[in-house]
Amino acid sequence: MKIRIATRKSALALWQANYVSSVLQELPEITTTELVPLSTRGDEILDRSLQKIGGKGLFIKELEVAMENGAADLAVHSMKDVPAELPPGFCLAATLKRANPHDALVATAGTTVQSLPENARIGSSSLRRQAQLKMLRPDLRIEPLRGNVNTRLMKLDAGDYDAIILAAAGLERLELQHHISYEFPPNEMLPAAAQGVLGIECLESNSALRAILGQLDDATAVQTTQAERAIARVLQASCQSPVAAYATVAGETLSLTALVAHPDGSPSIRESMDGHVGAANQLGEALAAKLLAGGARDLLDSIGHSNA
């Protein structure tokens, strides 16, 4: 079977697609793979924030169209970019082993968030990151930052910012981890739901392909991804909402922590729950209900980033 992989054209997206291609070629059912690079609206519009142009779903729409019209068989996504609800007719066919889930401070070597100068300019367009940075350092000035990883690093080098925040997994995949000056532990900055996880999407009706792709599932990543994405789904949060979720597995226990925060860092609601790994989705829904009981809906509605 020949597999055509729809992918964005950025260096990181191509790395992800090539990685999945290499994994697929180890399966006996797959004879060859081919990349189908596409440009998405999210890649093309860089002068406006994601929430103003429709959210991170803009990064995957063109890939889904390619699958729908038969130009591609599957698409590879960074799961933190995938809306909590997939469009009708599509499914998440495989969830690969999670890479580094944490956020990273990129600045001069040795710089930590506490050693940044007063009123430092931090590049990030993520309200989730902004909120948690403000909780750590209320004086920091968070300024918009869009573009691919190398574009963002170039803007930092040009002196546009004192530091920027990026996902550690993306830097490590591109062998740019030497730019990381500080990695945030979860108690300082919870990641986005399913950050560090690669997912494979295909048409729900393609049962033969789904059976093959299912072999690539990583059990732990499936469980943590289900729990974390359930938070976003129940809260009706967009991928740009200031909502964070992080799950870990130890034996048969899944531990889940989630946060909803105002972009200015206050107020915020943080809750945690433990449960059985076999009930990951239910645990996520239960923790989301706990957040809602604590006022998460009013908080999200007050800043206009729910149901986007």
How would you list the strands of the sheet with 163-167, edge to edge? 141-143, 121-123, 163-167, 103-106, 180-183
d(CA 45, CA 291): 33
DSSP reduced 3-state for 234: helix
Give the burial class of 249: count Cβ atoms within 10 A of its Cβ; 0-12 exposed, 13-18 middle, 19 or more buried: middle
Catalytic, 81? Answer yes
Nearest Cα residue to 123 out of 146, 150, 149, 151: 146
* One-character DSSP codes across 282-300: HHHHHHHHHHHHTTHHHHH
Nearest Cα residue to 242 out of 288, 296, 295, 293: 296
* Virtual torsion, Cα 74, 78, 83, 85, nearest 10 deg: 50
Query: Which amino acid makes up residue 121?
Result: R
Of the residues 43, 73, 81, 162, only one is catalytic, namely 81
Nearest Cα residue to 104 out of 78, 76, 123: 123
Question: What residues are labeled active site?
Answer: 81
